[in-house]
Structure 1
Amino acid sequence: MPATVPLARTKAEIFDDLVLDTVESLERRYAKELAGVEFAVEDVPPELNVYDSDVLEDGEVPLARLLPGRPGRQELPPRIVLYRRPLEFRAMDREDLADLVHDVIIEQVANLLGVDPDELS
């Protein structure tokens, strides 16, 4: 393909952009509260027999996970992980996927901050 022709974006790249759009919007409004919070995307959730309350599920299929972090000597920052394939599977089109990604991130950030999701929307 010639260098002048733009390459098509993959589903993963499009998904990453949707996540970044929501995260950047939240960080503009809640920079202090979200300082140090990591956001990640994995294609599919890990194989676990039972999921803890930190996992946002839809019919026993994990959509996202909040890892609250761990202070101390081996400090781990809070982390929100979205699972791309289950979210894509539930969306009818790109606009629907954008809304779903936004809602899932809002829900997980609200859990992390201990606020109602409506306060963040």
Structure 2
Amino acid sequence: MAAQSSTSSRSRASSHGRLLLCSHGEKPVLRISGMKENPGRRFWGCVYFEVQQGCNFFRWADPDTEVEHAEVARIRKKLSMMKSRTKAAEWKLKVVAVLGFFGWVGFLCLLLQSWSNATQQCVIPLNLI
């Protein structure tokens, strides 16, 4: 019955181009793990597993997870470094924006003060006659 389940298939069992055979001399069947530790992970198993005396043939069909874990760890470290650089750049940009804003406000104040001094009427009467 297990050999006919929907989680099994008679796909070509190969690992890096080699034909896999179990101890019975049969091509293993591609199955999907239902265990808590590896749910949904694909593996090659003996054709006679749960039907007759199986030979305990077992091989993961998915890529080596240790290599994937190292790659994921490297990418996460790189992502963390990029996030910290981004935060630093954002902080610098905010500082420059605030300084630029206050610089323009100061410039406008000086410009208005100079304009008001130039247009201000003389309060001292000049009676030359």
Question: TM-score, with normalisation over the residues of structure 1?
Answer: 0.22
Task: Point out the structure with max Rg over C-alpha.
Answer: 2
Greater relative contact order (Cα < 8 A, sep 6+): 1
Query: Which one has a larger percent strand, Structure 1 or Structure 2?
Result: 1
